[in-house]
Structures are given as structure tokens and as C-alpha cells.
Amino acid sequence: MGNVFEEIIELKRDKNAIILSHFYQDEKIQMIADFIGDSLELSRKAAVIDKDIIVFCGVHFMAETAKLLNPTKKVLLPDLNAGCSLADNCSATELLAFKLKNPQYKIVTYINCSAEVKALSDVVCTSSNAKQIIESFPINQQILFAPDRNLGAYLQTQVSHDLEIWDGACIVHEAFSIQKIIDIRLKFPEALILAHPESESSILKLAQFIGSTSQMIRFVTEHPKETFIVATEAGILLKMKELAPHATIIPAPVYEDNTCACSECAYMKVNTLEKVRDCLLNESPEIVIDSNIAELARKPIDKMLTLSI
Ligand code: 13P
Ligand code: SF4
């Protein structure tokens, strides 16, 4: 393992590259990354990178967003199979059909979608700025929120706009067992429950804090309480434990028993340290986006960044 770390450091230097990582990546990848962030922070960072190569350790829509925001750079994704169940739940064909049938709607899409879907959108948002983005529209504006039904339902409790909500979901955030979370809470009555808004409403109702990955990390780091039950992908625990070493952090358990009894995103986990090395070595797989799609897809992301300064 030590050798792979060294090889990556050397390749990064020789090729003038930078490694960006999401919190859900494998621990070893997070350890070698130059920058780790939530979807919004990664977008902001990607836009201002002046290196020749961006190795994006996350899933496909994230690497695509980096390419859209910094098109002259070579953006590499260690494994092109790093997809996303939410992105898969909304195709450009289906969204176009909705738009043609309902031209009065503004389309607000969660960043977890393809470049083709972004190209059909009025504005993009992430879990950390979705409320702000929706509230940028007049109150009587008809809005379609796609593709996450859970984030959409949560937003509907936060804004006065009447939202039409697409029927997509994240399999990782729909895997939590409410009964098992309640059982843990009975054992640790002091514990605060934190949840990502991609989780189901039954989980969100139990939570004392709802936010993006970075917002949850900040909450744990800054909160005087010491025990937290965390309902999101287990990769987040690395940074939480590093920044709040004295806290007891318990990953929310899933319905089915799996190796860690926590929820892991199989898409995120297809990237490995070896694949990071290989993609740097081969400068492949590279993210390539059709120029017509890119031109249209960049606009709603730029709009998001302008609205959420
Ligand atoms: P954030 O990091 O923006 O909270 O997003 C979580 C997620 O599910 C990424 O796919
Ligand atoms: Fe997609 Fe869910 Fe994995 Fe995030 S955690 S990449 S939303 S499948």
C-alpha cells in the first residue's frame, strides 16, 4: 500500500495533477486527496483549479460537473462505473417529455444527475443550498424538483413554493432501518441523530440535524454533545472522527445486515487507490462531454454558484 501512495504522489507531481475526493470515498483515497468536500464545495474547488489534470474521486456526475466548470482541464474518474442511483432515476428523455408537456414549470435539479439532464434544467442545487435556490423563485412559480423524492419532500416542508417532485431516490439513504436507529437511541439517550436529506421522511423526523455531508461534519465538530448517530454513507466517519476525536459517532444501521451494518455506496466504492494510480498513469478514463450539451449544462450550474455565494 505504501508504494501505491508514493507512486500517486510522484505521478501527481510529474503530471501537474490534483486529487479531489468526496467524503464517501474509501479511506485510503481520502488520505491521499488534496481536497475533500461535499458536492457544492467540490464544484467550487473544481472551478478554480489551475493544474493540468483533475483526478476526481467521487461518482460520474461529480466528475462531469468538474469538467463542465473547468473545461480546459483533463478530468479523470478512476472508474467510469462510479454511477449514482439518483442520476439513473432521471433520464434526459423523461425530463424532456415533462418539459414539453409542462412548459410553465421551472426545472430545479439536484446536482446528482447527468450533464444531459442538467442541460434541460433552469438551475442546479445541492443538499446544502437547495432551499436557497428554490426560494430564489417567486412564490407562485411552478417548480419541478428532480430527481430525489426524499430531498424534494423535505424541501416541501421548508419552502412555501408548491413543488412537483420527481420519483427518484438514493438507494444508500433509503437503506436505514428506523427500528434499529430507535434501538440505538434507547441505548444512548444522549445521542443526537443527524441525517442527510436524501433519507426517508421517517428518518428525517427523528433527526435533530439535517444537512449535507460537510454540514453534518461541522455540526459534530462544533456541538458540545458527544454522541451522534449519523444517517448517511459510512465514508463520512473518517473525517468526523478526525475532527471530533472525543465524540462517539455511531453509523445508522441498515435494514439488511451487511459487512459494516452501516450504509455504503457501492458506486463510490468502485474507485480504489490502485485505480487512482492507474488513471493518473494512463490519463484515462477521461470525462468527455459533447460540446453542445456542455454549453447548456454549464448554465444552470453557474446559476447555482451565483445564487449561493
Ligand atoms: P453532499 O456531499 O452534497 O451532501 O452529497 C451527498 C451525496 O449523496 C453525494 O452523492
Ligand atoms: Fe448516488 Fe446515493 Fe451514492 Fe450519493 S450515496 S452517489 S446519491 S447512490
Summarised one tens digit per residue, pLDDT across range 34-59 is: 999 999 999 999 999 999 999 999 99
Asked if residue 198 has its Cβ within 6 Å of ligand 1, the reply is yes
- Residue 10 neighbours by CB distance under 10 Å: 12
Sketch the domain layout of the chain as residue ranges: 2-83+268-288, 86-170+294-307, 178-251
Does the CB atom of residue 165 touch ligand 2 within 6 A?
A: no
Of the candidates 60, 49, 55, the one whose C-alpha atom is nearest the C-alpha of residue 21 is 55
In this prediction, residue 220 has a pLDDT band, given cuts at 50, 70 and 90, of very high
pLDDT at 181: 96
Share of the chain above pLDDT 90, in %: 96
H-type alpha helices, the chain: 2-14, 27-32, 39-47, 60-69, 85-88, 92-101, 115-119, 130-134, 149-156, 178-187, 201-206, 213-222, 236-243, 273-282, 291-307
Looking at residues 66-71, what average pLDDT do you find? 98
Backbone CA torsion sign across 45, 264, 176, 183: negative
**Pocket flag, ligand 2, residue 112 (CB < 6 Å):** yes
Cα separation, 151 vs 211, whole angstroms: 10
Query: Cα(18) to centroid of ligand 1, in Å?
Result: 21
Please tell me the distance from the alpha carbon of residue 184 to that of residue 270, in angstroms, as a whole number. Answer: 30
Give residue 201 CA to ligand 2 midpoint distance, Å: 17
- Are 27 and 238 contacting, i.e. CB atoms less than 8 angstroms apart? yes
Q: Which CATH architecture does the domain made up of 86-170+294-307 adopt?
A: 3-Layer(aba) Sandwich (3.40)
The single-letter DSSP state of residue 302 is H
Ligand 2 binding pocket includes 236 (Cβ within 6 Å) = no
Per-residue pLDDT tens over the stretch 151-171? 999 999 999 999 999 999 999
85 lines ligand 1 (CB under 6 A): no
Q: Which CATH class is domain 178-251?
A: alpha beta
Alpha carbon distance 17, 13 (integer Å): 7
Reported as a single tens digit per residue, the pLDDT across 74-129 is 999 999 999 999 999 999 999 999 999 999 999 999 999 999 999 999 999 999 99
- Dihedral sign, Cα of residue 178, residue 250, residue 174, residue 153: positive
What's the pTM?
0.96
d(CA 273, CA 1): 9
233 lines ligand 2 (CB under 6 A): yes
| CATH architecture of structural domain 2-83+268-288 | 3-Layer(aba) Sandwich (3.40)
Are 2-83+268-288 and 86-170+294-307 equal in CATH topology?
yes
Q: What is the model's pLDDT at position 5? A: 97
Res 257 pLDDT > 90: no
Sequence letter at residue 188: F
pLDDT value for 259 = 72
Checking if the pLDDT of 297 tops 90, the result is yes
pLDDT at residue 261 in the model: 83
- Which ligand number lies closest to the CA of residue 23? 1
Residues 6+ apart with CB under 8 A from 223: 192
267 touches ligand 2 (CB under 6 Å):
yes
Ligand 2 atom closest to Cα of residue 84 = 1
Return the closest-CA partner of residue 179 out of 206, 211, 157: 206
> What is the band of 2 on the pLDDT scale with cuts at 50, 70, 90?
low
Q: Measuring from atom 7 of ligand 1, which residue has the nearest CA? A: 39
Q: What is the pLDDT of residue 309?
A: 76
